[in-house]
Amino acid sequence: MVQGNNVKSGTKTSAGRLSRRDFLKSSAVAAAGAFGAPYVITSAALGSGARPPASERITIGHIGVGGMGGGHVSGFVMHNDAQCVATCDPLKARRETWADYIDAHYAKRSTSGTYSGCATYNDFREVLARDDIDAVVIAPPCHWHVPIALAAARAGKDIYVEKPLGLSVEQDRTLRETVRRYKNVAQYGTQQRSGRDFRFACELVRNGRIGRLQTIIVWCAAGQPGGALKGKPVPEGFDYNLWLGPAPVAAFNNDRCFNRGKNWISDYALGFIAGWGAHPLDIAQWGNNTDHTSPIEYEGAGVFPTDGLYDTATDWDVWCRYTNGVKLHFMSAGVAQPTLNRYGRFGSYGTLFVGTKGWVNVDRGRAYANPPSLLRSVISPNEIRLPESTDHKQNFLDCIRMRSEPISPIAAAVRSDTISQLSDIAIRTGRKIKWDPEKEAIIGDETASRVLSRPMRSPWHL
């Protein structure tokens, strides 16, 4: 049963999602000139300095507003060409807090000094049923990422979906094909692609500045053991059954739902091998020019908790191989340190490209290189230049208007997420996993192949 809880009035209405989109797109195309010259729409052109009229703003519903989801609310309200009109979360206090935040933000811009236009919902399906919402930001717990994104795509919404992608390769592939079918703009939340250092490091690699690429070393934060097993009463104002959704029935407690622990429980996530690994693996794929494929072999070992609620890998050490001969070494941070010490002292996550003439490493702090002169390189106009974005959210909004592919498309997300999926399968089975990236199938291992899909609790399905 849909359990909506719209506690606010004054919800924004419009002439209709498609007509507004068509208007915005046609306006952008017209600005390109009579001869069809290429036109790149910018945040300035869209009114970053002066707020556009309501009919020209992209309306956004936020589904999942805890943690990253709340951060997305505070980020999108700062974009003048967007209008946040809904918050949705099974925790009442959370959705109402962020709705109040949105209203307070817009009230500061209102001539009357008041605003009450953000509606709140318990059930995401009510958000998707609104014809006046153009796009949704999807940031609930990991096990909901793909099911909600699928529903949003089928409802004709454009999508900003948090990482990691799916709980299985089947989920990932289903979302990719659905986005293709419905022609949604779908941005993956690997925002490092909108960072200058990440783009520059990948351009150095793609243009041969480090020679022939041989090895990519990727590492990220490790998982954690622990988690209380004892159940607790469900708090008032929390729709726990909806929170569980497609996951198995289990007793509620805070470690399961409200702490970071939900990222380390296999009913809801693959652990940090995917949740954190998504970021540096995405950059590895970008620099290796393999957004269209994945490694063909996976072999390694992992450490798993032996008691407590958390059951995903706490540490791992996986070697992968691409068809082009490049090797990918994917590790948790503690495991990676002895390897990284040969290159220098780096942070708790990163992507290190090693070539025949040098190396370059990048994380959210800075880029490092050997020889250091690599960082003073200039990528000329006639060399490989990667798409440029300086703001992941603005890139999403711009692409909605232009109906173009965002900086982090779902097709690329599926391929990088596959690395996490198959690495997890390799360390759990203790066997080498051989992968056919064309058929997207495991070769010669029927038992491992079964893990490429995952059952969902009725009535939820792909």
Q: Give the DSSP per-residue string, 373-387.
A: GGGG----TTS----
Output the six-digit token pair for 412.
Answer: 């690329």
What pLDDT, on a 0 to 100 scale, did the predictor assign at position 347? Answer: 83
Confidence band (pLDDT; 50, 70, 90) for 460?
Answer: very high
* H or E segment to which residue 254 belongs: helix 254-257
What pLDDT, on a 0 to 100 scale, did the predictor assign at position 20? Answer: 52
Q: What is the pLDDT of residues 265-304, one digit of tens each?
A: 999 999 999 999 999 999 999 999 999 999 999 999 999 9
DSSP state, residue 345: -
Domains of the chain: 17-193 (3.40.50.720), 196-382+411-452 (3.30.360.10)
**What is d(CA 441, CA 450) in angstroms, rounded to the nearest whole number?**
10
Percent of the chain with pLDDT over 70: 89
**For residue 21, pLDDT beyond 70:** no
Output the six-digit token pair for 280.
Answer: 């540096």
Task: State the greatest distance between any 2 C-alpha atoms of the chain, in Å, as a whole number.
Answer: 68
Q: What is the pLDDT of residues 51-69, one digit of tens each?
A: 788 788 999 999 999 999 9
**What is d(CA 188, CA 320) in angstroms, rounded to the nearest whole number?**
23
DSSP state, residue 249: P
Find all residues with CB under 8 Å of 166, minimum gap 6, and list them: 145, 146, 172, 175, 417, 421
Closest Cα partner for 22 from 56, 68, 64?
56
Burial class (CB in 10 A: 0-12, 13-18, 19+), 221: middle
Q: What is the pLDDT of residues 222-266, one digit of tens each?
A: 999 999 999 999 999 999 999 999 999 999 999 999 988 999 999
SS3 state of residue 409: strand
Confidence band (pLDDT; 50, 70, 90) for 104?
Answer: very high
**For residue 353, pLDDT beyond 50:** yes
Q: Which residue has the higher pLDDT, 40 or 417?
A: 417
* H or E segment to which residue 419 belongs: helix 410-429
Burial class (CB in 10 A: 0-12, 13-18, 19+), 2: exposed
What pLDDT, on a 0 to 100 scale, did the predictor assign at position 46? Answer: 39
SS3 state of residue 450: helix
Q: What are phi and psi of 395, to 5 degrees?
A: -60, -40
DSSP state, residue 401: H
Q: What is the pLDDT of residues 390-445, one digit of tens each?
A: 999 999 999 999 999 999 999 999 999 999 999 999 999 999 999 999 999 999 99
| Angle ∠(444,447,448) on CA atoms, nearest 5 | 75
Number of neighbouring beta carbons within 10 Å of residue 444: 9
Give yes or no for a contact between 349 and 279, defined as CB atoms under 8 angstroms apart: yes
Average pLDDT in the 90-109 region? 95
Average pLDDT in the 164-179 region? 98
**For residue 72, pLDDT beyond 80:** yes
